[in-house]
Amino acid sequence: MDLHFGDSKPSDEERAAVDALLGPPESSWEGADRSDADLRWARGGRAARDRRDLLLPGLHAVNDRIGWISEGALDYLCRRLTVPPAEAYGVATFYSMFAVKPRPATVLHVCTDLACASAGAAELCAGVEARLGPGSGVGVERGPCLGLCERAPAALAVRAGDPVRTAVSAPATVEAAVLAASAPDSAPEEPSAALAVPQAGQDGLVLLRRVGVVDPASLDDYRAHGGYAALRRAFELGPAEVIREVTDAGLVGRGGAAFPTGRKWQATASRPDRPHHLVCNADESEPGTFKDRVIMEGDPYALVESMTIAAYAVGAHQGYLYLRGEYPRALERMSHAIEQARARGLLGDDVLGQGYAFDIEIRRGAGAYICGEETALFNSIEGYRGEPRSKPPFPVEKGLFGRPTAENNVETLVNVLPVLTMGAQAYAAIGTAKSTGPKLFCVSGSVDRPGVYELPFGATLGELLELAGVRERLRAVLLGGAAGGFVRPDERDIPLTFEGTRQAGTTLGSGVVMAFDDTVPLPRLLLRIAEFFRDESCGQCVPCRVGTVRQEEALHRIVARTGAAAADDIALLREVGRAMRDASICGLGQSAWNAVESAIDRLGAYE
Amino acid sequence: MTAIPLGVPRRLVEFTVDGQEARVPEGSTILDACRAAGKDVPTLCQGDTLTPKNACRVCVVEVEGARTLVPACSRGAEPGMEVRTDTERARHSRRLVLELLASSVDLSTTPKAAGWIKEYEAKPDRFGPDAARLNEEPKVDNDLYVRDYDKCILCYKCVDACGDQWQNTFAISVVGRGFDARIAVEHDAPLTDSACVYCGNCVEVCPTGALSFKSEFDMRAAGTWDESAQTETTTVCAYCGVGCNLTLHVQDNEIVKVTSPHDNPVTHGNLCIKGRFGYQHVQNRD
């Protein structure tokens, strides 16, 4: 590799931001192998190249400190990591939280996605922009779901500096959002995570039983509430038996694909090549989803413990927690929990004195929905553009760093704790025969008590909506988020199971239940969904890159039309949608037409 | 005695293509098998010298049991696979992909595109006159080659050829995301300020003419480019001792561009700046 770096130099602050992450360079030959015999001669650069995965943290370091990534800063980071500047530029421009052009040090991200849109995000944006015009030192950026749907509308202020400061305003008023942006340090503290769990403290909860009950900062409190009992049981059982328990419990992935977790673990564990990796997907960017955030904020040690168990089962000694860049409080809580667990011997070389080594590294996303796709997530961690890889090979064979990798989302992993503490049989007795265990639902929109609800699989949509206090004049319910589908208000008896929703011609997806009453204009909502997919397509394959644009254009044309006047464009949408579903590389393109199709077919959106 | 490398013996994989039994060596792709069976599946981004990126999705086929269509160019043939290349479903996706592409970029210099658009009855105009496309003027910032983003289908072949698959220069990358993604050098600078070494290997692999020799670009603009009047002569590069093969494209007794045979075991179609662009001295007639 013959790398060419421009002559742009970093500022002292940019250099300091990079050096704080990578350590000061030992010499100008840093990263290359030198022999004592000839110090003038450096060969290779392998050592630095092996740290390519620090590119994303490096970009964060600069962006956090300065607010944007200049040519000089990018080139310096590239020199330190032996990464070609063109590639690093390709990575930096992939993520929406990074900027490669100067911008104000404070950026206010205002969510304009589904729940926030129906709670008045447009007025909020207009109000905020009127107050924070040019010269205010704050850049206002409209963006996709911030995962604060239970407190819509939401805004997130990020002020660059050392350290970077963030403030969340939700539910946001113009005044509160402006305050958060202009003085993030003195903005009022976010309400406790427990407030996102209307059932908090109730008996019978399994996954949410500690949220609002334990102090998320205290490992002792976690242990006093049953923490680390599951890991002890796992060590008693041994890896093979843990996998058998998880298989017998019938646990399937909660991210949307519903793949059997035990089978995934078994396939990873049995691969002969080493090392194995464990990746926890905490990049929940599906509009309407916020359950992983609530768990990480309210019960962070539960995730640390379940990652340890999963890693033990699949034979991994390194775990990566890929955490959404838009979740500052979850990042803080998880970092603290991991540090505490490490300090107390629950992570590290000798977990619980059992001679098993495991540690967790947090990798922060930077604003890309596609990175929730497992292979795109691997690329993102490795320091490449977050584009999905083609499968096969599957991650259990060649995943992160080309090694066998088990990848699970937060909710799936947290389910492993009750599987082990209750035993597979008792766990499988919850729910239905095919969908076992408890399930988390993120309810938002036109309901009185939005939040994360835990119900055994098999409860009906109507029961869940009752719990959340659904309002009069319900017009539509979106199941599974932007990639899911709409159902009619009279379809309340749909059982909330994988097989039940499938039978009803819809999907459970990631557990989003978003209610819309008849004040919400449906065509606008569909337009927002189309806009979301156009913005979030990685652009790698043609059906998705161009199809999502053509879909949005057609919806724009018919936004105010119905019946025969819309028929042409609806036919066009169907044809494009079918090709996107059939020919796209990954789930993003394959599902980009689901919600719109269901709105046309089930709700008669343009009739 | 010359030792002839035979390689590791490869097993044959048996599967069916459109109901016909097919046997291909292990490691072959579905596309290889289709071509061996005399069926050509259209493809834009597949390249004979590069690992398929399967980004264009024109070559999708139906595989029994698969939820979605699969790209023939990159999916390996597996024993027992039942592949159907010409179903209504596959044809629908191919037609739509061609329509989506042709409505967003200029395929006028893409070989075979016009034929496929006709064959699949694709109508790129039906997305209306306001369908988004790039509409950008070609970038002419050096004397050797021209970048015309309006013709770029983002197949990643130039990125792979410049990067770890051939040249190891890593001067270009895909930047941005979604419909706004494009091929660029670092900081989206002019080519002359980049790491580009002007080997022209990206031009060699470009399937659409988005990258073209300045000579060809100028002649097309002047209306003098005439492929039918060109002769091709393959010779050996005289600059150094490696012995790369050059194919000189000559029109009206002038070299108009230089390519290199992809089946050459030394270069596989790759050249350096001298071999690719350094031919002016040959036709200096003063």
Nearest-angstrom CA–CA distance, B181 and B20: 41
Cβ distance A487 to A598 under 8 Å?
Answer: yes
Please report the residues numbered 101 through 140 in chain B whose beta carbons come closer than 8 angstroms to any beta carbon of chain A.
Answer: 101, 103-104, 126-128, 130-132
Is A5 inside a domain boundary? no
Band (pLDDT 50/70/90 cuts) for residue A503 is: very high
Handedness of CA A549, B178, A378, A304 (dihedral sign): negative
Does residue A278 sit in the same domain as residue A363?
yes
Min mean pLDDT across A14-28, A498-512, B18-32 is at: A14-28
Candidates A55, A78, A83, A89: best to mutate against B (most CBs of B within 10 A) is A89
Nearest-angstrom CA–CA distance, B30 and A357: 43
Cβ distance B108 to B150 under 8 Å?
Answer: no
Does residue A235 sit in the same domain as residue A313?
yes
In this complex, how many residue pairs, one in chain A and one in chain B, have their CB atoms less than 8 Å apart? 168
- Chain A contact for B87, CB < 8 A? no
Q: Give the end of a domain, one of A428, A444, A469.
A: A428
Give percent of chain A above pLDDT 90. 89
Nearest-angstrom CA–CA distance, A596 and A543: 16
User: pLDDT tens across A463-492, in order?
Assistant: 999 999 999 999 999 999 999 999 999 999
What contacts 24+ positions apart, CB below 8 Å, involve A215-219?
A: A216/A297, A216/A298, A216/A299, A216/A300, A216/A301, A216/A333, A216/A337, A217/A333, A217/A336, A219/A301, A219/A337, A219/A340, A219/A341, A219/A344, A219/A346
Cβ distance B173 to B184 under 8 Å?
Answer: yes
Residue boundaries of the structural domains of chain B? 145-283
Give A24 or B207, the one with higher predicted confidence. Answer: B207
Architecture of domain B145-283: Single Sheet (2.20)
Is A354 inside a domain boundary? yes
Please report the pLDDT score of residue A39 as a whole number.
60
Under an 8 A CB cutoff, do A582 and B69 touch?
yes
Under an 8 A CB cutoff, do A584 and B68 touch?
yes
How much is the ipTM here? 0.95
B250: three-class secondary structure by DSSP: strand
Cβ distance B58 to B42 under 8 Å?
Answer: yes
Average pLDDT, rounded, for chain B: 94
Please report the pLDDT score of residue B134 as a whole number.
87
Where would I find the beta strands (DSSP E) of chain B?
12-17, 20-25, 60-63, 70-71, 82-84, 145-147, 172-175, 182-185, 211-213, 231-236, 245-251, 254-259
Element holding A166 (H helix, E strand): strand A165-169
Does residue A28 sit in the same domain as residue A50?
yes
Band (pLDDT 50/70/90 cuts) for residue A27 is: low
Under an 8 A CB cutoff, do A576 and B97 touch?
no
User: pLDDT tens across A140-166, in order?
Assistant: 999 999 999 999 999 999 999 999 999
Under an 8 A CB cutoff, do B176 and A539 touch?
yes
Instruction: Kindly tell me if the per-residue pLDDT of A268 is higher than 90.
Output: yes
Nearest-angstrom CA–CA distance, A451 and A55: 36
DSSP letters, A426-463, are: HHHTSB-SSSBSEEEEEEEESBSS-EEEEEETT-BHHH
What's the burial of A384, exposed, middle or buried (CB within 10 Å: 0-12/13-18/19+)? buried
Residue with tokens 């944007």: A68
Please report the residues numbered 487 through 546 in chain A whose beta carbons come closer than 8 angstroms to any beta carbon of chain B.
Answer: 534-543, 545-546
Q: Which CATH number goes with the domain that contains A180?
A: 3.40.30.10
Q: Which CATH number goes with the domain that contains A286?
A: 3.40.50.11540
Please report the pLDDT score of residue A37 as a whole number.
66
Query: How far is the CA of A164 from the CAs of A63, A65, A105, A146, A269, in angstroms?
Result: 9, 6, 10, 18, 39
Residue of A541, A546, A557 with shortest CB distance to B179: A546
Nearest-angstrom CA–CA distance, B241 and B236: 10
Q: Which CATH number goes with the domain that contains A554?
A: 1.20.1440.230
Element holding A111 (H helix, E strand): strand A106-111
Under an 8 A CB cutoff, do B181 and A582 touch?
no
Does residue A81 sit in the same domain as residue A184?
no
Give the dihedral of Cα atoms A116, A120, A124, A127; nearest 10 deg. Answer: 170
Under an 8 A CB cutoff, do B186 and A85 touch?
yes
Give the dihedral of Cα atoms A366, A368, A372, A376; nearest 10 deg. Answer: -90
Mean of pLDDT values over B215-239:
96
Nearest-angstrom CA–CA distance, A517 and A446: 6
Please report the pLDDT score of residue B10 as a whole number.
82
Nearest-angstrom CA–CA distance, A416 and A231: 10
Q: Is the peptide bond before A521 cis (omega within 30 degrees of 0)?
A: no
Does residue A43 sit in the same domain as residue A132?
no
CA angle A230, A234, A240 (to 5 degrees): 145
Determine the residue of chain B that is closest to A591 in CA distance. B68
How many CB atoms sit inside 10 A of residue B118's CB? 10
Cβ distance A318 to A358 under 8 Å?
Answer: yes
CA B136 remoteness from chain centre: 21
| Count of all residues that appear for chain A in the document | 607
User: pLDDT tens across A430-443, in order?
Assistant: 999 999 999 999 99
Nearest-angstrom CA–CA distance, B52 and B45: 7
Q: What is the pTM of this model?
A: 0.96
Band (pLDDT 50/70/90 cuts) for residue A35 is: low
Is A212 inside a domain boundary? no
Q: Which residues of B254-277 are buried (b: 16+ CB within 10 A; e: fewer)?
A: ebbbbbbbeebeebbbbbbeebbb
Does residue A122 sit in the same domain as residue A271?
no
A168: three-class secondary structure by DSSP: strand
- Chain B contact for A585, CB < 8 A? yes
Instruction: Kindly tell me if the per-residue pLDDT of B176 is higher than 90.
Output: yes
Amino acid at A370: I
Cβ distance A292 to A410 under 8 Å?
Answer: yes
Does residue A366 sit in the same domain as residue A274?
yes
Mean of pLDDT values over A547-565:
92
Under an 8 A CB cutoff, do A538 and B181 touch?
yes
User: pLDDT tens across A181-229, in order?
Assistant: 999 999 899 999 999 999 999 999 999 999 999 999 999 999 999 999 9
- Chain A contact for B173, CB < 8 A? yes
Under an 8 A CB cutoff, do B57 and A584 touch?
yes
Question: How many domains, in total, are found in chain A?
Answer: 5
A371: three-class secondary structure by DSSP: helix
Does residue A171 sit in the same domain as residue A224?
no
Please report the pLDDT score of residue A256 as a whole number.
85
A304: closest CA among A228, A235, A357?
A228
Does residue A355 sit in the same domain as residue A500?
no
Please report the pLDDT score of residue A42 as a whole number.
55
Q: Give the end of a domain, one of A428, A446, A462.
A: A428
User: pLDDT tens across A525-539, in order?
Assistant: 999 999 999 999 999
* Residue A21 structural domain: 10-91
Does residue A263 sit in the same domain as residue A410?
yes
Instruction: Kindly tell me if the per-residue pLDDT of A1 is higher than 80.
Output: no
**Can you list the alpha helix ranges (DSSP code H) found in A459-558?**
461-467, 498-503, 522-536, 542-557
Q: CB-based contacts of B9: which residues, under 8 Å, 6+ apart?
A: none
Min Cα distance B231 → chain A (Å) is: 35
- Chain B contact for A85, CB < 8 A? yes
Give A133 or B44, the one with higher predicted confidence. Answer: B44
| Count of all residues that appear for chain B in the document | 286
Cβ distance A105 to A159 under 8 Å?
Answer: yes
Q: Give the end of a domain, one of A38, A56, A91.
A: A91
B100: closest CA among A422, A578, A199, A454?
A578
User: pLDDT tens across B207-226, in order?
Assistant: 999 999 999 999 999 999 99
